[in-house]
Amino acid sequence: MQIAVVPAQNEEKRIQTVLINLLSLPLDKIVAVINGSEDQTLERVLAIGNPKIEALYFQEKLGLDVPRAIGAKRALELDADLVLFHDGDMVGHFNNNLLELIEGVKQGLDVALTDCYPVPPQNNALVNELLACRKMLNEKLDWLGQLGLANPSHGPHVLSRKALYTIPLYELAVPPMILAYARLYNLKVGIATQIPHQELGSSIRGVLHAEKIVHTICGDCFEAISFFEGRHRSRKYDGTNFTGYHKDRNFRLLKEIIARDSLEDFVACSLPPFHV
């Protein structure tokens, strides 16, 4: 069973393009995790009317990356052999790259990553800050040679069934933790494809959003490093506490959902009565 997990919040203008692109791939199920949306995202998903697409609907906001953990739980319920994680705003046409990611897991990788910066950008201080944090993590894991600057926070990636059973679902809400767990438990990790960042087709949301994303991912990397080194988990580095969107991650709800026997109650076959 090959499954894609697609988190989406307020993506009414993009979600159909993303899902229709994914329908052309050899996937058995596409799980769209819709949370806290105030637009027509759910309606657009249901309007496609393809039985391969399943919508998990949450009225409450889950926060950044939490939907991937919930989608992974649903994938395990569906007996997934592998899971492709694909953001709900990435409208670029790179299906051949997605096939390479899937093939990477079929050929033995447990974590198949995308290299989104085959050529690091010049004169972009914010991106350079981000890449420095990612480099630091991969150096600490002794994987800089094989992974370069790749990180599961950025770009589509695929996890094997073994990875899904090895890495606690809760930790998928902090993507760099995937690498820390993979290193500790000897999972096979590698770059399976290259998609330059500008070809992902992600939404452009302004400087403030970019700054918060960078601080979120940097904090995630520092947290993964402290965990890997056996220290108290911390998002601090050089006197700065890197929070970004981390404080908005709904870990309370995530714990409740992971503890459930099934997510069937969240599968939206029609519009919920409170969603007008």
Which pLDDT score is estimated for 151? 97
Contact at 8 Å (CB) between 212 and 126?
Answer: no
The predicted model gives 159-163 an average pLDDT of 98
Which pLDDT score is estimated for 123? 76
The predicted model gives 46-54 an average pLDDT of 94
Which pLDDT score is estimated for 232? 95
> Got the DSSP string for the chain?
-EEEEEEESS-TTTHHHHHHHHHTSS-SEEEEEEES--SSHHHHHHHH--TTEEEEEESS---TTHHHHHHHHHHHHTT-SEEEE--TT-----HHHHHHHHHHHHTT-SEEEEES-SS--SS-HHHHHHHHHHHHHHHHTT-HHHHTT--TTSS-EEEEHHHHHHS-GGGGGSTHHHHHHHHHTT--EEEEEE--GGGS-PPP--HHHHHHHHHHHHHHHHHHHHHHTTSPP--EETTEE--TTGGG--HHHHHHHHTSS--GGGB-SS--TT--
Q: What is the mean pLDDT of the chain?
A: 94
The predicted model gives 120-128 an average pLDDT of 83
Q: Terminal CA-to-CA distance of the chain, rounded, Å?
A: 34
Confidence of residue 229 (pLDDT cuts 50, 70, 90): very high
Q: Token pair for residue 183?
A: 């290193």
| pLDDT at residue 54 is higher than 50 | yes
Q: Token pair for residue 34?
A: 């819709």
Which string of b and e fits 54-83 if b means at least 16 CB within 10 Å?
Answer: bbbbbeebbbbbbbbbbbbbbbeeeebebb
Nearest to 246 by CA among 64, 15, 51: 64
Entry pTM: 0.94
Confidence of residue 112 (pLDDT cuts 50, 70, 90): very high
The predicted model gives 212-238 an average pLDDT of 96
| pLDDT at residue 144 is higher than 50 | yes
* CA–CA distance, 127 with 123 (Å, rounded to integer): 9
Q: What percent of the chain has pLDDT over 90?
A: 88
The predicted model gives 153-182 an average pLDDT of 97
| pLDDT at residue 97 is higher than 60 | yes
Which pLDDT score is estimated for 271? 59
| pLDDT at residue 160 is higher than 80 | yes
Confidence of residue 276 (pLDDT cuts 50, 70, 90): very low
Digit-coded pLDDT (tens) for 239-269: 999 999 999 999 999 999 999 999 999 998 7
Confidence of residue 272 (pLDDT cuts 50, 70, 90): low
